[in-house]
Chain A
């Protein structure tokens, strides 16, 4: 059963990635969609990262007592200044470790 779910969801994921390259979908998207395209990376990645920063182990939202939140703010500032993925990850993880070391939950 689990193999079936893995393979079916894998196929589904591939179809999602392939559909607009397939030649079956319309060649030219409506102008509305062409304009919206530039916001896709921003909106999708933000939608994944915000819950990842703010939710705790029991899938509940944690605004206080969450060391990841101040560490994420540090990372945003570092990303704006450095524009480097590597530096942002290193300082962001470092900030999280420091906060936890100082007793942040």
Chain B
């Protein structure tokens, strides 16, 4: 399956598209990703406590911020005694990428009532976005497709909160040797790899990876943002010049 192209073997084709079926298809498609999310939540819960956050601060951060990578960075910087402004700026820079997600789903959700747009915006994480944009591109005319994002987002939210809470209270019992944090890059590898179909796709991926590596030592994890924008730009340029 890929972003932007139809895939004839898509499982979702058998769903006719009522609100309920869209919601539960979203939940179902989000479930496999929890194999990466749950270890990440456990790691965050453990890291929060070892960084000197209280259990309440750690647990509520998972629902207030609701962004795994940025929460990890928050805890790490806090543990290192970084100044509050620096912590806030880093988290914000990492989460700037959500503007891109917001823009990407906007054509499909723009016409919804405000309360829907607020709820779906809150639930618009990496993993919920990844499954939803695929679904939207495959079924752009489905009138209930926003229920799919609601289902995927709520499933992720529940697993993220529960795994954070378990991480907080079981922090002493989960051995570091399991390297459970590695499940997160593995999830992203599993999402990205099959979507690379064209040369512009490949160039976007290689450019982004190269820039992220080169920018590793930049302050405020700004390398991530630069790499993302650079990757999009490189893919778009190649796509554009092929068309000319």
Residues of B158-188 contacting chain A, CB below 8 A: 177-188
Q: Which of B104, B179, B223 contacts A37 (CB 8 A)?
A: B104
Chain B residues in 8 Å Cβ range of A7? 64
- Taking a contact as CB atoms under 8 Å apart, the answer to whether B236 and A35 are in contact is yes
Q: B228-244: which have CB < 8 Å to A?
A: 228-233, 235-236, 239-240
Main secondary structure on chain B at its contact with chain A? Answer: helix
Q: B201: shortest Cβ distance to chain A, in Å?
A: 6
State in angstroms the CA–CA spacing of A75 and B184 once bound together: 12
Nearest CB on A from B65, distance (A): 5
What per-residue 1/0 map shows which CB atoms of A47-68 lie under 8 Å from chain B? 1111111110001010000001
Known: A51-B216, A85-B190. A32 touches B65 (CB 8 A): no
Of B182, B225, B230, which one neighbours A93 at CB under 8 angstroms? B182
For B228, what are the chain A residues with a Cβ–Cβ distance below 8 Å? Answer: 40, 43-44, 47
Q: Interface residue tally of chain A, by bracket?
A: 35 or more
Task: For A86, list chain B residues within 8 Å (CB).
Answer: 32, 35
**B150 contacts chain A at the CB level, 8 A cutoff:** no
Q: Chain A at the B interface: mostly helix, strand, loop or mixed?
A: helix
Min CB distance B229 to A, Å, is 8
Q: Give the residue name and chain of the A residue nearest to B196 (CB).
A: A42
| With A9-B65, A19-B99, A36-B232 as contacts: A52 and B122 at CB distance below 8 Å | no
CB distance from B212 to the nearest CB of A (A): 4
Once the chains bind, are B208 and A47 in contact (CB under 8 Å)?
A: yes
Contact B64 A41 (CB under 8 A): no
- Are A41 and B57 within 8 A (Cβ)? no
Known contacts A35-B236, A55-B216, A6 near B100 by CB under 8 Å: no
Chain B residue contacts of A4, Cβ below 8 A? 84
Inter-subunit contact B109/A46 (CB<8 Å): no
A5-B88, A40-B232, A53-B185 as given contacts; A75 in contact with B190, CB under 8 Å: yes
| Contact call A85/B121, Cβ cutoff below 8 A | no
Which B residues, 97 to 154, have Cβ-Cβ distances below 8 Å to chain A? 97-106, 109-110, 117-118, 120-122, 124, 126, 129-130, 133
The residues of A with any CB-CB pair to B shorter than 8 Å are 1-10, 12-14, 16-23, 25, 27, 29, 32-33, 35-55, 59, 61, 68, 71-72, 75-76, 79-80, 83-86, 88-90, 92-93, 96-97, 100
Name 5 A/B residue pairs within 8 A (Cβ), A-sorted: A7-B64, A16-B99, A17-B98, A43-B207, A86-B35
Q: A36-B235, A45-B188 are in contact. List 8 more A-B contacts (CB 8 A).
A: A5-B74, A9-B65, A13-B65, A49-B189, A49-B192, A88-B187, A92-B182, A100-B177
- List the interface of chain B (C-beta within 8 A of A): 1, 3-4, 32-33, 35-36, 53, 57, 60-61, 64-67, 69-70, 74, 78, 84, 87-88, 91-92, 95-106, 109-110, 117-118, 120-122, 124, 126, 129-130, 133, 177-196, 200-201, 204-205, 207-209, 211-213, 216, 223-225, 227-233, 235-236, 239-240
Which 10 pairs show the lowest CB-CB distances between chains A and B?
A43-B231, A39-B235, A88-B190, A47-B227, A18-B121, A10-B64, A20-B102, A79-B193, A49-B188, A16-B98
